[in-house]
Structures are given as structure tokens and as C-alpha cells.
């Protein structure tokens, strides 16, 4: 193990020990400063912008090469909450090694990716007399897990963030051990729906004449879908940017089968895509969705409480594909509920960001794909988008720069879940991959 790998594994241990949970707005400045100090020590021209609750860290490593291109490296230092703690086999805030794996909250998403990239840069500088063939600009935020609040504002404040390629925050290998390179993600709009049918909870004997809030809310939610699970809100799909033939082919070629998907996710209900008669992979990557995250109302304790609840709340999300504006999408839902007679249902937006899909034929992205093939001896799995959500659209709108995502994960990484982990073998291979990406700019 090189000195750089030891150094930045120690940094990873320190980072995991900081519970930088953006949902709780806890310990974000501390994590940002620790990363900024490490970047400065490595030789970066580093800025910490703390205008908003989650500071942005920017650090530039300049190339001595004339007219050098710029590689932007995007990451985030915030993490998901670690609860439920009792399901962890070790303390989530203590980096723990077991059988070739490292465990801890954020070890993959995304602190381990940060330290792998710092390791790659440090080793490259050490092996090449401190010279770089490309400018490297780190952009590291602290609110990715909460829809990257104010990241768009930070981009406006820092027009100097420009480059030729963005290496995004994370990625993984697939079940067969092949590197997965993806180039986009869905957007999202989250909102609360609230039904209120009275000023106080009532005795349930009054249910013969008084409507309850949970009934009212559930009836409103039920109108959003037809029997096949298709969203029946008028104009919901109007803005959807359809994938081109190349993008469809990339998804069609993904090795996962429907049976793999069902087994991995322990699904017992029929797939909605089967009900609608559409291919499950095409739907997963290219269709928007509506989901009820949770419903709260009434008595939830032990035994029975015969009550007629006066209030009920649902947390709802819509995953958006490119072309869909979060605010316009939410407005179509509001308008539909009113048209269905649910004008009394309160709608409160909580978060929102647009989606983005990479052009995987862009020359800068194609070079990374070729590097992966050379490093591993096999073609990587290439997808134009992930099924998840992230702020790629903010970065693309601000820079117009192509984006590709790669990282240290594997199918058992358990991001956002108890026992989040990485394999040290994947971590080390990713360091080598990143060094090879830097080296292609010598050409």
C-alpha cells in the first residue's frame, strides 16, 4: 500500500466519523473544512463558500501544459441518516474493516469516492514529478442527499467552474464484476399532501355522518393512478423527452434480467411495467414515476383507539425524466386534484430538481469508455442515465459539460441502508482507473 493510500484511508476514517447528515443539517461545515484542508495540503487552490447551510468546496490543481483541458470532479460529503442503528453490525460512524470490506455510513456514498479520487491524484503527482497533463477542478457539495439545495446558486456565484468533462460522484460494478459507466439521472419533485376535515379528532361512532381525513386523503391519492398503475394526471407526460434509438439500445443491452431484479429487491407484488405491458428496463430508466413515501394519520400505538382522525398527511414524490420541470409537474398534479373535487387538499412542495441524460457518444465520454476497456480487458456496461436522482442537470446547465459517472461500489454496497460497505479491491482498482483517465490527457 502506498503512502497516499494510507493517508487518504485515514482521511476516510475521519470523514466517516463525522455524521454529516444534510437532512438534519448536522456537521456539514466540519466535513467541508476537513476535505478543504486535505485538498490544500495536496496543492490545490482551495475555496470554501459557506453562503448557504451546506458549504461548497472548490479546489483547482493547475496543469503546466499549455492550453490544457479541465477535468471537473464532482462529489458530495453529506450522507443519509444512519438509522435504524440496531441493524448495523458495527458502529456506522466508525470505519470498520471486515473480510476485505470497509463498512460505515458514507463509505461509498460518497466519502470513499472522494478519498479514492484524492489518492489517484496524489499518486499521479508523485509518479509524474508533480506535473499534470490536465487541470483538475474539484467541486464538492454538502446537500446532495437533500436535492442539492443551493447548488444552482453556488454555480451562479462561481462562473469559473467550467471544463471539458465532469467525472460524477459515484458508480459501481455490476453483478458480473463489469465496470458500470452511467451518464445521467432523473430529476425529482417532492411534496406533502394534507387533508383536514375538522379541528379535533372525534369519536369514531360519528363515522356514519362525518368524513375522516385519512379517508379523504386516500381517496385523493387513489385518483392519481389507473388500475394498471399508469399516472392518469392530464399533461403529466407532456414534457417527457423520449430516448433516442442509441439510448434505448444501451438499456436493452444491460445484462440484468427481470428475474434478477425481482430476486435482488425481494419483490412479491406484480411489476407495474407488466401491468402496463412495457419493458421493465425501459420503464425504469426512461419513464417518470409517482410514489407515496409515507402516510401519517390517527393512532398508531398498541391496542385500539376508536378515533376519527381530523388530519392526515402523505409524503409524495415524482421522479422526473429530462424535459420535465419540477414546478410545472407539481402544478399539473395540483390542477388535477382540484378538478377531481379535492380542492381542500393542501399541497406543499418540499424539494425539486430537473433531470439530465448524457450523450454517451460525446468524444470526451468515449475516451473514458475506452480507458475502462483497456484497464479491465472487457467492455464496460454503459448506460445513458441511472434510475436514481441527482443534480447533474444543475451542473450541465451551468457548464454545458458532458458528464460521466464512475465509482467504487458493487451490487452489495447497500447505499442509504444499514451496513453500507465497499470492497477494498474495487477501491484500489478505481484509483488505478482514475489515474489512467488523467493520463489520457497526455495525448
pLDDT digits (tens, 9 = 90+) for 62-105: 999 999 999 999 999 999 999 999 999 999 999 999 999 999 99
CB 23 within 8 A of CB 119: no
* Residue predicted with more confidence, 443 or 13: 13
- The total number of residues shown for the chain amounts to 443
**How many whole angstroms separate alpha carbon 227 and alpha carbon 82?**
36
Question: What does the pLDDT average to over 307-316?
Answer: 97
Q: How large a percentage of the chain has pLDDT more than 70? A: 100
Residue 229: per-residue pLDDT = 87
Q: Write down the pLDDT at residue 377.
A: 96
pLDDT for 228: 87
Q: Is the peptide bond before 84 cis (omega within 30 degrees of 0)?
A: yes
* Banded pLDDT at 302 (limits 50, 70, 90): very high
Q: What is the mean pLDDT of residues 358-372?
A: 96
Q: What's the whole-number average pLDDT of the chain?
A: 96
From the list 406, 413, 431, the residue with the least C-alpha distance to 116 is 431
Mean pLDDT of 261-276: 92
Average pLDDT estimate for 95-124: 98
Relative to beta strand 45-49, strand 101-103 is: unpaired
Q: Taking 80 as the threshold, does the pLDDT of residue 310 lie above it? A: yes
Q: How many helices (H) and strands (E) does the chain have?
A: 13, 20
pLDDT digits (tens, 9 = 90+) for 143-153: 999 889 999 99
| Predicted local confidence at residue 1, as pLDDT | 77
CB 103 within 8 A of CB 90: yes
B/e letters for 219-241, b = 16+ CB within 10 Å, e = fewer, are ebbeebeeeebbbebeebbebbe
**Residue 76 pairs with which residues in a beta bridge?**
141
Distance CA 270, CA 151 (A): 38
Averaged pLDDT, 293-320: 96
Q: How confident is the model at residue 7 (pLDDT cuts 50, 70, 90)?
A: very high
In this prediction, residue 292 has a pLDDT band, given cuts at 50, 70 and 90, of: very high
Amino acid at each position: 500500500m502506498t503512502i497516499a493510500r494510507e493517508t487518504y484511508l485515514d482521511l476516510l476514517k475521519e470523514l466517516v466519523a463525522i455524521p454529516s447528515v444534510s437532512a438534519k443539517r448536522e456537521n456539514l461545515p466540519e466535513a467541508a473544512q476537513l476535505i478543504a484542508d486535505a485538498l490544500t495540503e495536496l496543492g490545490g487552490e482551495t475555496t470554501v463558500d459557506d453562503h448557504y447551510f451546506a458549504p461548497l468546496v472548490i479546489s483547482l490543481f493547475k496543469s503546466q501544459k499549455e492550453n490544457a483541458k479541465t477535468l471537473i470532479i464532482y462529489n458530495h460529503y453529506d450522507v443519509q441518516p444512519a438509522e435504524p442503528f440496531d441493524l448495523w453490525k458495527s458502529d456506522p460512524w466508525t470505519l470498520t474493516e471486515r473480510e476485505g470490506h470497509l463498512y460505515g455510513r458514507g463509505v461509498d456514498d460518497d466519502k470513499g469516492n472522494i478519498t479514492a479520487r484524492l489518492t489517484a491524484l496524489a499518486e499521479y503527482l508523485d509518479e509524474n514529478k508533480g506535473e499534470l497533463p490536465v487541470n483538475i477542478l474539484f467541486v464538492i457539495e454538502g446537500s446532495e442527499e437533500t436535492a442539492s439545495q443551493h447548488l444552482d446558486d453556488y454555480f451562479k456565484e462561481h462562473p469559473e467552474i467550467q471544463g471539458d468533462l465532469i467525472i460524477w460522484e459515484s458508480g459501481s460494478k455490476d453483478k458480473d464484476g463489469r465496470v458500470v459507466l452511467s451518464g445521467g439521472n432523473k430529476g425529482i419533485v417532492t411534496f406533502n399532501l394534507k387533508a383536514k376535515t375538522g379541528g379535533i379528532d372525534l369519536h369514531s361512532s360519528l363515522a356514519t355522518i362525518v368524513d375522516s381525513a385519512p379517508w379523504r386523503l386516500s381517496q385523493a391519492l387513489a385518483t392519481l393512478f389507473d388500475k394498471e398503475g399508469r399516472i392518469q394526471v392530464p399533461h403529466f407526460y407532456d414534457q417527457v423527452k423520449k430516448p433516442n434509438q442509441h439510448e434505448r439500445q444501451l438499456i436493452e443491452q444491460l445484462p440484468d434480467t427481470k428475474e434478477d431484479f425481482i430476486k435482488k429487491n425481494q419483490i412479491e407484488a406484480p411489476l407495474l411495467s407488466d401491468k402496463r405491458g412495457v419493458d421493465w428496463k425501459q420503464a425504469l430508466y426512461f419513464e417518470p414515476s409517482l410514489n407515496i413515501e409515507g402516510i401519517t394519520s390517527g393512532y398508531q400505538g398498541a391496542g385500539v383507539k376508536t378515533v376519527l382522525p381530523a388530519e392526515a398527511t402523505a409524503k409524495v414524490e415524482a421522479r422526473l425524466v429530462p424535459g420535465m420541470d419540477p414546478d410545472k409537474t407539481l402544478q399539473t398534479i395540483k390542477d388535477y386534484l382540484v378538478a377531481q373535487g379535492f380542492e381542500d387538499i393542501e399541497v406543499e412542495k418540499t424539494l425539486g430538481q430537473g433531470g439530465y441524460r448524457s450523450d454517451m457518444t460525446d468524444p470526451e465520454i468515449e475516451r473514458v469508455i475506452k480507458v475502462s476497456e483497456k484497464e479491465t480487458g472487457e467492455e464496460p456496461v454503459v448506460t445513458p442515465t441511472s434510475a436514481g436522482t441527482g443534480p447533474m442537470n444543475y451542473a450541465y446547465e451551468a457548464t454545458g459539460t458532458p458528464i460521466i459517472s464512475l465509482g467504487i461500489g458493487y451490487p452489495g454496497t447497500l447505499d442509504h441502508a444499514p451496513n453500507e460497505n465497499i470492497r477494498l479491491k474495487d477501491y484500489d482498482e478505481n484509483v488505478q482507473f482514475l489515474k489512467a483517465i488523467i493520463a489520457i490527457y497526455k495525448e
